[in-house]
């Protein structure tokens, strides 16, 4: 079986499990947990940088998955993205409710962003990855870094502005111009 | 406004900002309500979700301790979730409402509910604040209400879109497990109305409740019972 067949099969399996969870099947939720908890925990850890908070966020995420599986639409998102998005949003909400404001220097942000990129290079190219990353490369470094940091650190505009010691309007403008370029590039690609 | 060449349309930028998690507080709550109420905006959010989707591959998996699953199980046991599965009594109660109103289709269609955890920087870390949300739709084409409720302030915000011209005024009702509609008062015909929910009705706002909209003669005070069948309804989700 080729790699893409394998990933199609894994995706179909997760979609099937989510349908069962929507019918209140606890075993299906446990199966989803066993298949995806490590990935989702990785998402929480990345956003929260704190083990206990990440464990709490992972719990919250699976309670939400249990309640909202019926809303999953296979036409709109892959199951793993839907699950990881819930984990990421839950971790971001928790981070904001804790009110943790970790000060990070400009250099540190660039280091984090480049660490991510080298980690990425080790990954096998999958559908969409190549185009997204090619297009991210066409952005100015500061545009790319704020977008990536927002995504991976779950930082808001005001947190980014604080961390970068730049006015909010400047950071917004970097992000928005970066997003515009990213969209144009991806729509062409 | 900067040159258009360099900027996305406002809604598209807002959709991207919501997906990336750049928004907080009221901005985020407003964007989430818009996602519920505006299908075009919801589509833009979905498209940005797909664009950044490959970034999820970069999160490095990490095995959580087994205590997490145990904790999830006990939380689910404690709730025994009426949330995702409306109890039969609710359906029966709804059927009692005026001449067996035809609701099932609308009910099925209006379950597009969002997860919103309230933007509340000052709450205790262990208990992020829950917000109730609902989307109400019905047989009137294009009529959509997006509702959010903050239990801290007891403020309910209702965003109305697509209300046709009528001589009557929209009135919002909450239907609890007992099946009795209780008025939350009349609301604006278009845009956002904010109201404080009366204290005796706050306990009704839970995942077993349904919000309904009926059209009533203009009145300063809430009516005791609805005069006609609901024109839109939606189930509450509390996260």
Q: Are A41 and B64 in contact (CB under 8 A)?
A: yes
d(C-alpha A31, C-alpha A37), whole Å: 10
Residues near A155 by beta carbon (within 8 Å), at least 6 away in sequence: A149, A163, B21, B22
Q: CATH: 1.10.1740.10, 3.40.50.2300, 1.10.3720.10, 3.40.50.620. Which one for A1-125? A: 1.10.1740.10
Q: What was the pLDDT predicted at A166? A: 94
SS3 B158: strand
Residues near A151 by beta carbon (within 8 Å), at least 6 away in sequence: B20, B21, B52, B55
Integer distance in angstroms from the first to the last C-alpha of chain A?
29
Instruction: Say whether B128 and A94 touch across the interface (CB within 8 A).
Output: yes
Instruction: Give the residue with greater pLDDT, B212 vs B168.
Output: B212
Nearest CA in chain A to B48: A183
Q: What was the pLDDT predicted at A3? A: 67
Q: Which of A13-22, A23-32, A67-76, A132-141 has the lowest mean pLDDT?
A: A67-76
Name the average pLDDT for chain B: 75
Q: What was the pLDDT predicted at A103? A: 38
Integer distance in angstroms from the first to the last C-alpha of chain B?
37
Q: Are B172 and B189 in contact (CB under 8 A)?
A: no
Closest CA to A147 of B12, B61, B52: B52
pLDDT of B104 higher than 60:
no
Instruction: Say whether B6 and A177 touch across the interface (CB within 8 A).
Output: yes
Instruction: Give the residue with greater pLDDT, B32 vs B20.
Output: B20
Q: Which of residues 101-140 of A touch B (CB under 8 A)?
A: 116, 119-120, 123, 126-129, 132-133
Q: What was the pLDDT predicted at B89? A: 41
Could you read off the pLDDT of B59-74 as tens digits, one per residue?
Answer: 999 999 999 999 999 9
pLDDT of B126 higher than 80:
no
Q: In this complex, is the C-beta atom of A45 within 8 Å of any C-beta atom belonging to chain B?
A: yes
Domain ranges of chain A: 1-125, 128-189
SS3 B144: strand
d(C-alpha B64, C-alpha B70), whole Å: 12
Instruction: Say whether B53 and A33 touch across the interface (CB within 8 A).
Output: no
Q: Are A58 and B33 in contact (CB under 8 A)?
A: no
Q: What was the pLDDT predicted at B34? A: 84
SS3 content of chain B, % helix, strand, coil (to 5): 35, 25, 45
Strand partners of residue B182: B174
DSSP B146: E
| Residue A87 C-alpha, separation from nearest chain B C-alpha, in angstroms | 11
Six-digit token string for A126: 């999958």
DSSP B206: S
Mutate to test the interface with A, among B27, B36, B68, B86 (most CBs of A within 10 A): B68
DSSP sequence for B76-125: HHHH--SSSS--HHHHHHHHHTTTT---HHHHHHT------B---TTS-T
Q: What was the pLDDT predicted at B220? A: 76
Q: What was the pLDDT predicted at A116? A: 46
CA distances B12 to A53, B31, B114, Å, are 32, 11, 19
Q: Are A91 and A48 in contact (CB under 8 A)?
A: yes
Query: 10 Å Cβ neighbour count for A104?
Result: 18
For residue B235, how far is the Cα from the chain centroid? 8
Q: What was the pLDDT predicted at B231? A: 86
Instruction: Give the residue with greater pLDDT, B138 vs A53.
Output: A53
Nearest CA in chain B to A86: B115
Q: What was the pLDDT predicted at A164? A: 93
Q: In this complex, is the C-beta atom of A15 within 8 Å of any C-beta atom belonging to chain B?
A: no
Handedness of CA B11, B17, B22, B24 (dihedral sign): positive
| Residue B102 C-alpha, separation from nearest chain A C-alpha, in angstroms | 22
Q: Are B110 and B137 in contact (CB under 8 A)?
A: yes
d(C-alpha A124, C-alpha A15), whole Å: 23
Mutate to test the interface with B, among A81, A115, A154 (most CBs of B within 10 A): A81
Q: Which of B12-21, B83-92, B96-105, B145-154 has the lowest mean pLDDT?
A: B96-105
Instruction: Say whether A41 and B64 touch across the interface (CB within 8 A).
Output: yes
Could you read off the pLDDT of A3-34 as tens digits, one per residue?
Answer: 677 778 888 999 999 999 998 899 999 999 99
Q: What was the pLDDT predicted at B239? A: 62
Q: CATH: 1.10.1740.10, 2.40.370.10, 1.10.10.10, 3.40.30.10. Which one for A128-189? A: 1.10.10.10
Q: What was the pLDDT predicted at B115? A: 32
Greatest CA separation for chain A? 53
Q: What was the pLDDT predicted at A155? A: 92
Name the average pLDDT for chain A: 84
């Amino acid at each position: 079986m080729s790699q893409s067949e394998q990933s199609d099969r894994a995706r179909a399996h997760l979609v099937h499990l989510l349908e069962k969870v929507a019918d209140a099947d606890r075993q299906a939720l446990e199966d989803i947990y066993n298949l995806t908890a490590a990935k989702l925990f990785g998402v929480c850890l990345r956003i929260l940088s704190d083990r206990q908070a990440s464990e709490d966020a992972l719990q919250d995420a699976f309670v939400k998955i249990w309640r909202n599986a019926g809303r999953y639409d296979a036409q709109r998102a892959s199951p793993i993205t839907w699950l990881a998005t819930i984990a990421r949003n839950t971790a971001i909400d928790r981070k904001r409710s804790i009110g943790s404001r970790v000060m990070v220097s400009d250099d540190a942000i660039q280091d984090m962003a480049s660490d991510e990129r080298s980690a990425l290079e080790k990954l096998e190219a999958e559908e969409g990855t190549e185009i997204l990353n090619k297009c991210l490369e066409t952005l100015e470094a500061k545009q790319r870094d704020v977008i990536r940091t927002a995504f991976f650190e779950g930082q808001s505009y005001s947190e980014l502005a604080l961390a970068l010691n730049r006015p909010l309007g400047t950071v917004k403008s970097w992000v928005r111009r970066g997003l515009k370029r990213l969209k144009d590039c991806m729509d062409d690609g | 406004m900067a040159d258009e060449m360099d900027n996305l349309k406002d809604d598209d930028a807002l959709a991207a900002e919501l997906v990336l998690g750049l928004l907080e507080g009221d901005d985020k709550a407003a964007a989430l309500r818009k996602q519920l109420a505006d299908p075009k905006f919801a589509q833009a959010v979905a498209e940005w979700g797909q664009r950044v989707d490959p970034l999820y591959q970069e999160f490095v998996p990490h095995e959580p301790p087994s205590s997490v699953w145990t904790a999830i199980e006990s939380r689910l046991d404690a709730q025994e979730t009426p949330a995702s599965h409306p109890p039969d009594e609710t359906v029966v109660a709804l059927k009692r409402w005026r001449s067996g109103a035809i609701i099932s289709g609308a009910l099925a269609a209006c379950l597009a509910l969002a997860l919103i955890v309230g933007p509340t920087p000052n709450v205790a870390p262990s208990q992020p604040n829950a917000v109730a949300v609902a989307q109400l739709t019905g047989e009137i084409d294009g009529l959509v209400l997006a509702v959010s409720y903050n239990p801290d302030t007891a403020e309910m915000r209702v965003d109305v879109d697509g209300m046709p011209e009528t001589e009557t005024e929209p009135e919002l009702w909450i239907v609890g497990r007992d099946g009795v509609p209780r008025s939350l008062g009349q609301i604006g015909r278009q845009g956002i109305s904010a109201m404080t929910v009366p204290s005796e009705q706050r306990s009704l706002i839970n995942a077993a409740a349904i919000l309904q909209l009926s059209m009533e003669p203009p009145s300063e005070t809430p009516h005791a019972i609805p005069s006609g069948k609901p024109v839109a309804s939606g189930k509450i989700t509390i996260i």
